[in-house]
Every structure is written in structure tokens, then in C-alpha cells.
Amino acid sequence: MIELIINDKKITVANGKTILDAARENDIYIPHLCWDRRLTPFGGCRICVVQIEGHERLFTSCSTPAENGMVVHTESPDVLKARQMVMDLLLVHHPLDCPVCDKAGVCKLQDLAYQYGPAESKFQGEKKQVVGDLVNPLIDINPNRCILCGRCVRVCWEHQGVGAINFIGRGFTTTVSPPFEESLNCEFCGQCVDACPVGALGSKNFKHRSRAWFLERRENICPYCSVGCTLSLEILEGKILNVRGLDFKGVNEGDLCTKGRYGYDYIYGDSRLRTPLIKKDGQFKEATWEEAVALIAKNIRLVLAESGPEAIGAIGSPRCTNEDNYMLQKFMRTVVGSDNIDSSSRFGYTKVQMAFERTFGISYNPVDMNAPLKNDVTLVLESDITSTHPIWGLKFIEAVRKGKKLIVADPRETKLSNNASTWVRIKPGTSQALLYGLIKRAYDDGFHLKNEMTQGIEGFSDLVETVSSFTVEKVCEITGMERDDFLKISDDYLGAESRLIAMTIGAGENSKSVNTAISAANLVMFLGDGPASLQIPPLLANTLGMLKMGVSPYYLPGFKKITGKPGKDLFKMLYEKGAIKFLYVMGENLIVTYPDTNKIKEALSSLDFMVVQDIQFSETAQLADVVLPASSWSEKDGTYVNFMGLDQKVRKVVAQTGESMPDWQILRNLARYLHKTVGADSLYAYQDEISAIKVETETQKWRFVSVPFKFVAETDNDYPLYMVTGNLMQHSGALSSMSKSLSHVVSDAFIQVNQIDAIRYHLKDDAQAHVDSRNGQTVVKVRITDEIPQGMVFAPIHFSKAMVNALTFETNEDAPPLTPVRVRPVG
């Protein structure tokens, strides 16, 4: 520890801290413009200068290490004179346009000008007259207001790991700009906007819409991925105008991604539902709540009388709150009398649950936000974490910056692979073979002899037998990697004192499955590590909460297993003919996001009756008999459970749209119409019920589970390419396509094709192409790129105009459901 004196106050700080760090930790104010806690000290603005006794010159406090015995003065006459000079120089070229600048009122330069600015300037100089970036669809750039503090450049390069902008030019002509004034690799995350201390960077959505002092600021939780970032919503007259991060607040500590910052406007989408709709003679007509609920109740009674509760099913949503999902399962089990309830998690995180149950004997495994920083080596398998969980992805980049090793095994070139210590391009769907190769190498090197517990785990001998054939040569043949690459990966990963495996298995991703997660768990156990060394997060905002609430045909709330006959899961309800006659869909767009669109359409069309309860008039809602308008995430109170297992409050911050209601309230009203009770009337009463739920934990011992390495479907001459599906950084499921802001960035479906494959199949960049599979076909735009290897194409699943899921297939098998396709030019 270091002891020093600042402004006559004796303080103690840890080694390695700067004077500014020491001051901030002890509530001593030192002004700054270029400093950011996330970034390497820059010392460029000079406003943070302080005086150190025994030295004639002044020192920048942000870059000067604190030392034992230092005596520091932060407000001495020399310091104040220097700061006044700095402010005078900064204001020489800065435009006096505060009346039209959106940053007015929250501008750091403005505040410091009041505090330190001279009454009259000693200098004269030109004002900049530079045209800003007109290409970026979300970020407004005004170079004339830039003070060249470098925070935006450094946050993009250091913190985000992107480098989309930099200093251009010299001297008076210096500006901050993307190369060649084109936003080539900008993620549109807006981190630079929050980092900017002045009005040089702002949101185009917010431009000239309000003054800062008129805004009401309310906190909420992001509705997209399962990280659960805290948002600061800026509201005027009941409408969200802007979103910012809050420094040191929430699990994200102020960081936000594109979806979190700009995707809020989906609640104002053109397809937003405002009143109940009833289909009559093939056409939807507006109806009252009483008419809609009465018709639903009538048809529930009819199906119950004719076919019993087994003929009724429901689908919950990871987009909805705990309270909504709890009410849905309670309605199904206590009102209808059926366990036929499931969700899109059946195609994603439920696979992870199955793997953890079979190996570690646990129902779920919370993610540690800082796990990449706590381990010497992290191995990421076929997962674009910076797209699915962008703020968690920053931790992997930070870990590399701090000297940790990051190994990425992925066929695609991603942001994570570009920031990795080692990137190995493997064939899609072959992560399991790599894992088996690592287990084989660990066995050959005697790792099991170093840990007595390993040999005592049930299934040890079977696992050793299963991996015995996965020699270096075989692994390299299957994965396509070079021998030296495999040996380097195995040396780095197996030789580390602390190790981590990270991946995602979400609905819409088809390159990994149950067997991948099981094999990863086998490797972790073989090395004597525990579940914390295997991090697989749920995909969407409340996936974990939804499952905890009992939205599953196999579990009651609290992950308590159903002891009798379980209900029907999605595979039975949607992919088996005649399994159910009545379906209640809450907050899900099955047509766009579920595999095998054609079979889904066929199943929904064959129902006697379907209800869709959603915020938008989706493709699935168009097939319903009754459509009910639900309140969005910011129009109701409730809770989410993020990937760390934290309960987080979702708050009502704006009025409900039209006649929409919270999902739980709609279900409660429907239960009343059926003359059934589902408990008390208030949300808080249901929250008391939920808080009383005890989470069941398995007590069984760990066990190795030997599973075969295989694909569900193979390529052939007719379908020679494997199609990998997944998520984009700027989108999440089908919900984000309602956002006009996010659609400004990416609005249409596309398929990525390798350059050599494009030549082979006569495809042209930006041209339309037919994509066929054994299940269906669609037409999408081609993007030719070297980001993916030969023999593979990649397609995002977010867009309804080109149904990518018309090509995919459903499977209850545990192997990766990669889809073989062919791509041919249109015309």
C-alpha cells in the first residue's frame, strides 16, 4: 500500500494507482476530460494537472503514479492558472453553439468553462468548418465540436476491440473519423457517444428532440440478451427518446451494445398491437377485451369437453417477465390441467440444461461475468459471444489486454477471433471432436493420475474408450486444423493453471448441441475442474427466469421434476400431427424463429383454435384465431433473471400502448372467465408466491457421459454446403426487426458465401440467390466474404422476408442440426 497526502488529507491506496485514482477513491475532486476508467491513461487534455511538492512543473494526475510520501495540491494558484490556460486554448476553436447542441446541460466542457474558463480569451483562432460523417445511420458526428481528447478513439480500439475511428490529419485540420469516411467495421454500439465529453458525438435519433433538463431519467433492464444490462432511459412526455449507460451501475457498469442503446424503439414499431383482434371469415376485426376473452374461454371449454386437457398446449417466452411466465404455467396447470407447456429454449438452453444434469447433476449453471478475467486461458468454441452477449464479450477482450490467453476455435472470422491470442479455423459442427482430442491428449499425458477424483467418477473407463480413437491425426482430419495448431491449443489449454471453456447454444444456432456441451463437461471434469470452468449462457433476457418459473413439460417452478407423466414438449406439440388442438402462444414468433417453418405453418394451420398474445402483429399472429395485445417490457413492472442468476427489476416507465395489458393480467382475466382462480389480484401477491419458490438442486454425483460424434444430416452432391445459422450483433431473434434504428443497420436477410464457393456456383456479391435444402427453399442476397471457409455458408435468422428457417429442420437428437444446402443464382 502507498501513503500520500492530497490537499492536507492523508490517504492510503493500493500499489499501481495514479494520483487521480487516489483522489477519486477518497472523494477529492480533480477535473478531467480525456480520462476514462476503462482506458489506458492518455494525459492529453491537461486539465487534470496537479502540483507535487518538491517539483517545479505540474503533473497530469491521470498518468502519474502515486508514490509514498507524495504531497499533492489539486487547487493551488499555479494549478488553477494552468487549468484556466487549458480552458482558454480549448475554447479558441470550439464553436459557441450551445443553444443548438444536444449536449448542453450535460457537457463536461461547458461545466469546466464555468468553473475554470477565463472571462476574456487571450487568443484568437479560426473556428472549424468541417462536414460530419453522413454515412453512419445511428451516430451523429460534428467534428467542429471535437476537443481531440481521444476518448472515443481509445474506447473503440482498446475497450471495444474494433478500431472503427481514428485521428485523421494533423494540427488544426485533425479530426476523428472512420477511415476514408466509411463506417466499414463500426458496430454502431454508441460507446463512443457516451465517452464523448462534448457534443461532437451524439445519437441521430435524439438530435434536436429535447433539452437535457427537460428529460426524465428512469432505470430499466435491457430486454434483449441474458446479460441483463442496466439502461438509463431518457423520457419526454411519456416517450423514450434516448438510452444511455450509467457508469459503475449494473452488471454492465455503463457499457451498452447496439441493441441495448438503440433497439428500445421496437415498442414503437409499425406492427404494434393496440386492440384485441378476432378472425371472422378469414379477416381480422377489432374486438373488445370481453369479446376476445369470452371467445377464447368458449373454445377452451369446447376442447376440454371433447378431447381433455391433453389437447391444449401453451408456449411461454424468454422475452416475458417471471410474473408473466409464472402465470402462464399456473394457468395451464391449475385452470386447464395440462403440463403441455414449453418454449423456444427447447432448441437452445434446454440442451445445456440436459448436459449439466447428465454430467454435473445440476439444473443450471450461473455465468460468472468476470470468468474470462479470472482464468489464465479461455477456450471459446464456435460461438460469436460478442454478437449474442456483447457486453460479456468485452470481458474476453479485456482479459487478452491484461495478458490472459484467449483461444477461439471457430469456422467464422468474428470480432472475438480477431482479438484472440490464437484463432483456429475448424469445420462447422466439429467442436466435439476437438474436445475429445483434448481429453485423449490429457489422458495420454497422465492428467487423470494427478487428480485422484477423476478416476473415481462414474463412466471414466467408458469415456477413455470413447476418446481412444481421437488421435491428433483424426482430430485434425475431422476439424480441418493443422497438427501444430492442435498441439499449441492443447499445450496452452491443458498446461494452464486455471482454464475456462465458453460457448453459446441458443435457439437459432445449429453448430452445437447437447453432445457438444456434454463433451465440454467431460473435459472439465477430467481435468479436475468444476462447473464454473464451463460457461454457457442462456440466449435471451429472461430464459433462465422463464425456466425457473416452470415453463417446461418436465419441470414445475424451481426446477422441480414432474414425477408422473410429463407434458408434451415442442417437438410433440408442433412437429407431431394432431398432438394438440388448442395452442396458446405468449410472446413468441414461431414462424420466423423456430426451425422448419413449413412444418410449423402446417401444424398451426391444423389446430382447431390458436391464441397469440404478443406486442406485435407477427407472422404467427396472422395465423391465429384471436390476437391479444400485450404490454411491452417498458410498459409493465416485473422481474427478469439474468445469466448470473440475479433477479432484476423491470419497471413500468411509460404508459401502455392502446388497450394492451401485462401478460399476467390477461391470463388472470381469462382464468376468471373460466370461473377458476389463480390466486390474488395484484402483481405483488404473485411476486410473493414466486419468492417462496425453492430451487431444487440435484444431489447426484458427477459422471462422465460418453456420446458419439456425429452430424444429424450430411452434405452430398445435391446439397454440398453446410449452412450455419446464428445471430447478428445488431439483432436478437425476430423482436429486433421491429426496431427502425436497428433496421437502419441491417434490415434484410443475407447469406455469407466464401469467395471460392461463389466462383464455383456462379454467385455474385449483392445479388439474389436461391438457397435450397431438403426441407424448403428461400431467396436471399449473397454476401461474398473470406470470413467463412469453403464448404460453409452463414445465414442470420432474424428476418421474415426471407425465411431462413424454411431451410432448417427440427430434431430431437443430441447432435448438431447443421443444414445441408445448395446455393444457385436467380435467373
For residues 374 and 450, which has the higher predicted lDDT (pLDDT)? 374
190 phi-psi bin (left φ>0, alpha ψ -120 to 50, beta other): left
Same fold, 2-75 and 128-268: no
How high is the pLDDT of residue 677? 85
Instruction: Report the distance separating Cα 242 and Cα 229, nearest Å.
Output: 15
DSSP-derived letter for residue 127 is P
pLDDT surpasses 90 at 178: no
Q: How confident is the model at residue 181 (pLDDT cuts 50, 70, 90)?
A: low
pLDDT surpasses 90 at 168: no
pLDDT surpasses 70 at 176: yes
| Cβ contacts of 493-498, under 8 Å, gap ≥ 24 | 493/377, 493/379, 493/407, 493/438, 494/438, 494/441, 494/442, 494/445, 494/447, 494/527, 496/375, 496/376, 496/377, 496/405, 497/376, 498/374, 498/375, 498/376, 498/377, 498/533
Secondary structure of 414-458 in HEC code, one letter for each residue: CHHHHHCCEEECCCCCCHHHHHHHHHHHHHHCCHHHHCHHHHHCE
Q: Is 814 within 8 Å of 515 (Cβ atoms)?
A: yes
For the entire predicted model, the pTM comes to: 0.95
Q: What is the mean pLDDT of the chain?
A: 95
Q: How confident is the model at residue 559 (pLDDT cuts 50, 70, 90)?
A: very high
**What CATH number was assigned to the domain covering residues 277-346+541-691?**
3.40.50.740
How high is the pLDDT of residue 700? 72
CATH 3.10.20.740 fits 2-75, yes or no: yes
- The three cell numbers locating residue 175: 479530426
Q: How confident is the model at residue 133 (pLDDT cuts 50, 70, 90)?
A: low
Q: Mean of the pLDDT values across residues 463-481? A: 98
How high is the pLDDT of residue 180? 66
pLDDT surpasses 90 at 696: no
Secondary structure of 737-793 in HEC code, one letter for each residue: HHCHHHHHHCCCCEEEEEHHHHHHCCCCCCCEEEEEECCCEEEEEEEEECCCCCCEE
Q: Which residues contact 670 (CB under 8 A, 6 or more apart)?
A: 293, 296, 297, 331, 335
| Cβ contacts of 176-180, under 8 Å, gap ≥ 24 | 176/141, 176/143, 176/146, 176/148, 176/152, 176/200, 177/133, 177/141, 177/143, 178/133, 178/135, 178/136
Residue pointed to by grid coordinates 434483449 = 224
How high is the pLDDT of residue 453? 85
How high is the pLDDT of residue 170? 84
Q: What is the pLDDT of residues 572-627, one digit of tens each?
A: 999 998 999 999 999 999 999 999 999 999 999 999 999 999 999 999 999 999 99
Three-class SS state of 603: helix
User: How many percent of the chain have pLDDT more than 70?
Assistant: 99
How high is the pLDDT of residue 175? 86
**Extents of the domains making up the chain:** 2-75, 128-268, 277-346+541-691, 349-535, 721-825
Q: How confident is the model at residue 119 (pLDDT cuts 50, 70, 90)?
A: confident
- The three cell numbers locating residue 457: 467418477
Three-class SS state of 816: coil
Task: Count other Cβ atoms within 10 Å, centred on residue 708.
Answer: 9
Fold of 349-535: Dimethylsulfoxide Reductase; domain 2 (3.40.228)
DSSP-derived letter for residue 561 is E
Q: What is the pLDDT of residues 90-115, one digit of tens each?
A: 999 899 899 999 999 999 999 999 99
- The three cell numbers locating residue 209: 428532440
How high is the pLDDT of residue 184? 67
Residue pointed to by grid coordinates 384485441 = 276
Q: At what angle do helices 460-467 and 431-444 cross, to 10 degrees?
A: 110
The beta strand positions in 126-198, using DSSP E, are 139-141, 166-168, 175-177
- State the sign of the Cα–Cα–Cα–Cα dihedral 212, 216, 218, 224: negative
Q: Is 304 within 8 Å of 312 (Cβ atoms)?
A: yes
Q: How confident is the model at residue 812 (pLDDT cuts 50, 70, 90)?
A: confident
How high is the pLDDT of residue 646? 97
Q: How confident is the model at residue 800 (pLDDT cuts 50, 70, 90)?
A: confident
Say how far residue 609 (Cα) sits from the centre of its chain. 34
- State the sign of the Cα–Cα–Cα–Cα dihedral 154, 155, 160, 163: negative
CATH classification (class only), 128-268: alpha beta
Q: What is the pLDDT of residues 258-285, one digit of tens each?
A: 999 999 999 999 999 999 999 999 999 9
pLDDT surpasses 70 at 38: yes
pLDDT surpasses 70 at 251: yes
Q: What is the pLDDT of residues 303-351, one digit of tens each?
A: 999 999 999 999 999 999 999 999 999 999 999 999 999 999 999 999 9
Q: Mean of the pLDDT values across residues 479-498? A: 98
CATH assignment of 721-825, among 3.30.390.50, 2.60.40.720, 2.40.40.20, 1.20.1630.10 = 2.40.40.20
Q: How many CA atoms lie within 13 A of 66 on its CB side?
A: 25
Cα of first residue to Cα of last residue in the chain, in angstroms, is 73
